[in-house]
Amino acid sequence: MRFLRDLLPGLLVGALAAAGQAPLGAWFVALPALSFLMHRVARGASARQAWATGTGYFAAYLSWIVSPFLVEPEVYGWMAPFALVLMAGGLALFWLAAGWAAARMALPGPRRALAFALTLTAAEALRGVVLTGFPWALPGHMWIDTPLMQAAAYVGANGLTLLTLIAAAAPVAFGTGGAVGAMVLLAALAAGGLWRLASPAPDGAGLTLRLVQPNAEQHLKWDPDQAERLYRLQLDYTAALPRPDLVIWPETSLPYLYDPQGEAAGGVAFAAKGTPVAMGVQRLEGAAAFNSLVVLGPEGTEAARYDKAHLVPFGEYVPFGDLAYRVFGLRAFAARTGYGYAAGPGPRVLNLGRLGKVLPLICYEAVFPRFVNSVGDRPDWMLQITNDAWFGTLNGPFQHAALARLRAVEQGIPLVRVANTGVTQVVDARGRVTASIEFGVTAYLDVDLPGKRPPNPYNRYGEWPFLLLLAGLFGLVFSRRSATLA
C-alpha cells in the first residue's frame, strides 16, 4: 500500500501535465502540474516518483496507442492494454533517469528543482533520438496553439521544452522572485510571438492545390469492394472542375500495389487530364516493399518518387520481422505486403518545376525536427501525406497535426498536410492554419499555397542554440553546487 501511496500522486500529476497537449491545450493546467513536480523533487522525491509522474503523463497523452490494436481486435486486441502500459512506463524511464541525475547534481532543496528542469530537458531531447527516437509529447509542445510557439523558430521544440521547464522550476528554486521571473519570461515569449504573427505575410506561391480526403475507415480500407469504391471516389475528386495545379492523395491512398504502367495508375492519369497528381502508394522493388509518394506528371508518367525513410517500429516494420512472424505471428500493422516495409535512403527535396521544390514527409516523419532540418537544399514547401485512421478519433490525429505545424514554424516554410480521415490542412510559414477539411468527412478542397519566409535561426543552426543554452545552464548549476560544497 505504501508503494501505491507513493506512486498515485505522481500518476495524477502526470495526467494533469498531459492536459496541456493537443487537443486540449490546457497549458494553464499543465504548467502548475509541472511546477508541483519540481516542488516534490526539491523536497527529496525519489527518482521512482519522477517515473510515476512520467508514466501518468505518457499514459494520458498517448492513450491513442491502443487504436491500432483494435483495427483487428480478434488478432491484436489483447495487446492493447499491455502496449499502453509498456509504452508509458518505458518512456517514463527517461524521467526516472532525470530524477536520478538531478539528485546527484544538487542537494535536497529549492535548487534541485532547477537541476531537475535541466536533466529532464536533456532526457526528453535524448528520447527524440534513442532507438530511432520518439519526440512526441515533449513538454514544450503545450505552446503549439499559443503565440509562444513562435520561439521554435529560434530554439526548436527542445528549446521550447527547456524554457517551459525553467519556467516551471523557477518559483520553486527562487520563490516569489522566481515566480515573477517565470511570468516575465513567458510574457516576453508571448509578446515576441505576437510580433512575429503580426509581421507581413510573404507573397503566396500562386499555386492552387487540391487536397483529397477519402475518409476510409481502416478496418474496411483493404476490403476489395471498399477499395474499388474509394478508388473511384478519388478519381471523381481528381477529375472535378476547375482544374488545380496539383492534386494530392493521402498516404497509401491507391488501394492497389503501384505499377507505373498498370491500370490503376493509368486511371489516375486519365482522370487528371494533364494535371499532376501526388499520391501515397505501396510498391514492390524485388523482394522489398516500400511506403512511397509518387508524382504522376501531365502525361501520366512518373515525374518523382520518394520512399519513406523513417519507418514506424512495429507499425511499418518489426525488428527481425521474418523470425517474429514465424515464432510469434507478429507482423507490422500498416504494411500490406510481406512482414514490413523497407526504408528509403533518407529525406530529400523533389524539384517539381513550376510547382516548386517540395520536401515530402510520410506519416510521422513530420514529428522529427532534425529529420526535416537535415536536407541541404531548402524547399519551397513541405508536403505531409498520412493515414491517421490508425490513431483513432479522440486525440492522436490532432496531436500529430499539431506537431507537424511546429515544423512549419521551425523552418519558415508552409506545410500542406493531406490525411485519409483528417486532419487535412494548409499551414503557413508561421504555423497558422489557413485552410482545412473538417475531420472525419469525405471531401476535397482547393487551396492556395502560402509563401515561404527567409531561413529562421533554427533552420540555419539546428539544435546548436538549444545545446549551448542547456550547457550554459548546466554550468551554472554545477558552479553553484561547487560553491555550496566549498
Query: Within 13 A of 452's CA, how many CA atoms are on the CB side?
Result: 22
251 annotated active-site: yes
Of 124, 221, 316, 363, catalytic: 363
Of 251, 365, 410, 463, catalytic: 251
Cis previous bond, 372, omega within 30: no
Residue whose grid cell is 523470425:
323
452 annotated active-site: no
Q: Contact at 8 Å (CB) between 295 and 278?
A: yes
438 annotated active-site: no
Active site residues: 251, 308, 363
